[in-house]
Amino acid sequence: MACETTVILFKPDAIEKRLTGKVLSRFEEAGFVIRGIKMMQLDDTILREHYAHITHLPVFPALLAFMSRTPVIALVLEGEDAIARVRELLGPTNSLTAAPGTIRGDFGENMMINVCHASDSTESAAIEIRRFFKNAEVFGF
């Protein structure tokens, strides 16, 4: 197993439903270490960059509106096989197919309103860390 870092974004539904503490505790209980955390308002520029792979889809305007509805909380988590393990804790992107006991299965509503974004690869994680955090905002102990 490799020690990895991953990015989590607590989406507006998590903020509005006050789920961040519950969800964050699940990550910590699973052994992940917080290396960076902050609240930020995502603007069109960063959202278009982050979702560049789907800006052409009809759902994109709704996603843009949703993700800018409230500030998000961004995290950098570290742990053994963090990317796969975090995604396992979250469950599938579509909350309607997520099993009970997963974060999305317990708190999500659908494909978009699904509590958290998580990096899907080590390459994505590296890009997303640079996108959402300055070097001085990520800490190693």
CA 138 to chain centre: 16
Alpha-carbon distance of 71 to 47, in angstroms, equals 12
**pLDDT at residue 39, as a whole number:** 98
Cα torsion 89, 55, 127, 35 to 10°: value is -40
Total residues found in the chain within this entry:
141
- For the question of residue 117 being annotated catalytic, the response is yes
Please count the other Cβ atoms lying within 10 Å of the Cβ belonging to residue 21: 9
What is the set of domains in the chain, with CATH numbers? 3-137 (3.30.70.141)
From first to last of the 141 residues of the chain, give the pLDDT tens digit.
799 999 999 999 999 999 999 999 999 999 999 999 999 999 999 999 999 999 999 999 999 999 999 999 999 999 999 999 999 999 999 999 999 999 999 999 999 999 999 999 999 999 999 999 999 999 986
Task: Provide long-range contacts, Cβ within 8 A and 24+ apart, for 93-96.
Answer: none
Catalytic residue among 50, 53, 56, 117: 117
